[in-house]
Chain A
Amino acid sequence: MPDQVSGAEGLPTGMRVVGGDDGPRFFPQFLLAATVVVGISLPALLLNPLVGHRAIALLYLLTVVFLALFVERGPTLFAAALSAVLWDLLFLEPIGNLSIRNAEDAIMFGMYFVVALVLGQLTARIRAQERSEHQREAHATALYRLTRELLEATGRQHLVTQAVREMESAFSARIVILLPDSSGRLSLHAENGSSYELAGPEQSLALRVFEQGQPAGDSPRAFPPAETLFVPLLAGGDTLGVLGLHFEAATSGLSAQQRQLLSAFAQQIALALDRQRLREQSEQARLLAESERLSRALLNSVSHEIRTPLAAIKGALDNLQELTEPPLSAEQRSMLAEVGQATDRLNRLIGKVLDITRLESGTVRPAPTLCDITDLVHVVVKEARPELANHRLEVALAPNLPLVHMDFVLTQEALKNLLSNAALHTPPGTPVEIGGRIRDGRLLLTVADRGPGIPPESLSRLFDKFYRAPGARTGGTGLGLSVAKGFVEAQGGWVVAENRPGGGALFTIILPLGQAVPLAAGSAARTEPASQPLAAAQAQARCE
């Protein structure tokens, strides 16, 4: 940092760093210098007969030295020249003439000039250094105060307020801080705490500064000088916002030092904002993890608290049904069967409510693996068979279905819910058909029935939670279809409901095939020699 301080920087207080042209203050200094020099000439004239003209020269010299302590270099030199001329005129023979007869006096005159010059130069330099020192100290203090305030600030709002206050007092300008909104675009509304609101044309300037990450509005060639200048708030290669300074009076721009101070301020504010951003992010992550933990704990606890008494009911029921002394009457048995059915239904309902809660809390995370669709459909059919005991179940899978990348359990549960739905809403004895095929790079799993079909006005609301089509049978949970939809959509697929030509409803699970692997591809392995010694077999298995 260069120590040079131009003469134009005699500022009254260290804190106020913005100043205009200091030229006018020069004039009184010259006046002061002239007055002092002329003023000292009067007592000198009186003293001259007593001490001699050489002592008078020393008196003038003393005066110039003192002056140098108070005025700039220019006035000092002026005082030196003026006093030399006055000495020559008033005290050297011939009086009233600038010529010097005496060689000693000529040397004295010359020496005097050099000494005055050097003195003026030295004192001026010392004072300039002092002033620069002072200025630097003021800057450092301002920066320190800013840093401290920013460190102590809690929350973004407080931080902005503190930054604005410190900037205002250091730059005598009104301050605006602009930060990006949640979508990452710069919000043109001044952050709360700012002391300036942008006018129209300034907004585009601020946007440009944000996009380019370069200061603007302070071009020295700009005429008239811009009243608002913008600096980007940069931290870690990111532009975190824009800092704007609005000067009430037109300024001639900032000096190099002021720019340095400004950039130091901007850097500190940006760092503080960055810290704040990181703090907010980690806080958010913590909250998210906490809410996930809570919802998981809640799910565990709900399922535990409700299912434990259900398990007790079911256990007691089973124990009761096994009692043979005395044997239960047919009526007692049928009552127990009712309790058993209700218990199972309640358990299913809890299962579905938990599924819905998992879906809505976003804790359903599909874990896709390559799945055998034939196996999946079989598992579903096996599990749904009790519900479909009174229906004719027909399974029609396309031959040579490939392995499909999907979450086995989610798809299976979705398909099971569709089957339960069909079982519930179609009359006994009607057929329910399950189909599976590949079309246009998608896996289609269909459940078709020959029931009453779906009323057209219900089609759009069918998958809503707890929605029941008018005239639909009771007994369902009203959740099965939304669970099915949720589980399929969690994997990037979708479910379509429609009415079949010829009557009945058709539900289709559609899953895009990310990467399907033909099941037959591995069949080459079947030509391996059969039943080798086990060690060899395992070795070979590892090589595959």
Chain B
Amino acid sequence: MNEPAAQKTVLVVDDEVQMRRLLRACLERNGYDVVEAVTGDAGLDEALRRRPDVVLLDLGLPDMDGQEVLKRLREWSQVPVLVVSVRAQEEDKIKALDAGANDYITKPFSTGELLARLRAAQRLTQQPATTTVFHSGPLRVDLTARIVKVKGRIVQLSATEYSLLHLFVKHAGKVLTHGQILREVWGTEDVEKTGSLRVYVAYLREKLEANPAEPELLITEPGIGYRLVVQEAR
């Protein structure tokens, strides 16, 4: 778990001193450097100055809304952002994800879950752009040859199924909102199309999952969207 070779820097933007202390304790024990910011402005400053590898952003900040911080940060930086908030409403999550957050975790959370999400968010940016083969558990997608294999056997996908899978692979580990998927694959923002999306997700699961009724790769994020899980290679 520790990565002594290159310590990753985490920027924690949260106005609660207790949360910052606890996050610092947990993150430092797990091999991260921690930078703290109390306000949105300070957070943006630190992001610019320290160039963190990942940002933990609380939405309820004293000076500006966390969504606003996210928006401004995304104007110049692609640093992975994990939103940590007590706001559990789907619309808050969707808004943050659409504004460019990589993931969303609701307080209170277990540290185990937080660390897992942190690793997933970082992995996204660690993958070199030249990666052409994606692995997750039994799934193997060769992006140049457009070949999809499950447990070594080639799986035939329709064009739509493939472009959907391709989108998930490009953003592996990240929650994609219904809106984002519809825009990318169907070229529409019409939520009425969510039906088609659900149909194609069902098809993909049938072809890729060991048990389509209990998917382990293509996970539903209720009310928000889907996530392609990156399982460690076995």
Chain A residues lying within 8 Å of B134, measured Cβ to Cβ, are none
Kindly state the separation between the CA atoms of A27 and B204 in the bound complex, as whole angstroms: 108
Q: Which of B32-40, B67-75, B124-132, B153-161 forms part of the interface with chain A?
A: B153-161
Number of A-B pairs, beta carbon distance below 8 Å? 156
Kindly state the separation between the CA atoms of A526 and B186 in the bound complex, as whole angstroms: 16
Chain A residues lying within 8 Å of B214, measured Cβ to Cβ, are 378, 381-382
Task: Across the interface, name the chain B residue whose C-beta is closest to A532.
Answer: B159
- Whether the Cβ atoms of B202 and A375 lie closer than 8 Å is yes
24 sampled A-B residue pairs with Cβ under 8 A: A300-B60, A304-B86, A307-B108, A308-B19, A310-B108, A311-B19, A311-B107, A314-B110, A322-B29, A351-B88, A375-B220, A378-B215, A379-B220, A379-B222, A409-B222, A412-B222, A523-B203, A529-B158, A531-B146, A531-B148, A534-B162, A534-B163, A534-B166, A544-B160
Q: Which of A13-21, A85-93, A366-374, A459-467 forms part of the interface with chain B?
A: A366-374
| CB of B87 within 8 Å of the partner chain | yes
> In A495-528, which residues have CB < 8 Å from any B CB?
517, 519, 521-523, 525-528
| CB of B90 within 8 Å of the partner chain | yes
Q: How large is the interface on A (under 10, 10 to 19, 20 to 34, 35 or more residues)?
A: 35 or more
Chain A residues lying within 8 Å of B163, measured Cβ to Cβ, are 534, 537-538, 541
Chain A residues lying within 8 Å of B109, measured Cβ to Cβ, are 311, 314
Kindly state the separation between the CA atoms of A522 and B200 in the bound complex, as whole angstroms: 8
Which of the residues B86, B195, B222 comes within 8 Å of A517, measured between beta carbons?
B195
Q: Mark B105-139, 1 if CB is under 8 A from A, else 0.
A: 00111111000000000000000000000000000
Kindly state the separation between the CA atoms of A318 and B90 in the bound complex, as whole angstroms: 26
Report the minimum CB–CB distance from B163 to chain A (whole Å): 5
- Whether the Cβ atoms of A403 and B199 lie closer than 8 Å is yes
- Whether the Cβ atoms of A526 and B158 lie closer than 8 Å is yes
Report the minimum CB–CB distance from B184 to chain A (whole Å): 9
Kindly state the separation between the CA atoms of A315 and B108 in the bound complex, as whole angstroms: 8
Kindly state the separation between the CA atoms of A500 and B156 in the bound complex, as whole angstroms: 46
- Whether the Cβ atoms of B111 and A322 lie closer than 8 Å is yes
Q: Mark A381-418, 1 if CB is under 8 A from B, else 0.
A: 11000000000000101000001000011001000000
Kindly state the separation between the CA atoms of A519 and B198 in the bound complex, as whole angstroms: 9
Besides A538-B185, A541-B160, 15 new A-B residue pairs in contact (Cβ under 8 A), listed by A number: A303-B87, A308-B107, A311-B109, A322-B26, A374-B202, A378-B213, A409-B90, A522-B203, A523-B203, A530-B157, A531-B146, A534-B162, A538-B163, A541-B186, A544-B196
Kindly state the separation between the CA atoms of A371 and B197 in the bound complex, as whole angstroms: 10
Task: Across the interface, name the chain B residue whose C-beta is closest to A323.
Answer: B29
Which of the residues B111, B156, B192, B201 comes within 8 Å of A531, measured between beta carbons?
B156
| CB of A343 within 8 Å of the partner chain | yes
Task: Across the interface, name the chain B residue whose C-beta is closest to A303.
Answer: B86
Chain B residues lying within 8 Å of A312, measured Cβ to Cβ, are 16, 18-19, 22
Kindly state the separation between the CA atoms of A302 and B25 in the bound complex, as whole angstroms: 27
| CB of A474 within 8 Å of the partner chain | no
Which of the residues A369, A409, A541 comes within 8 Å of B194, measured between beta carbons?
A369
Report the minimum CB–CB distance from B13 to chain A (whole Å): 15
- Whether the Cβ atoms of A530 and B156 lie closer than 8 Å is yes
- Whether the Cβ atoms of A319 and B26 lie closer than 8 Å is yes
- Whether the Cβ atoms of B162 and A375 lie closer than 8 Å is no
Would A522 and B19 be within 8 Å (CB), given that A318-B26, A528-B158 are in contact? no
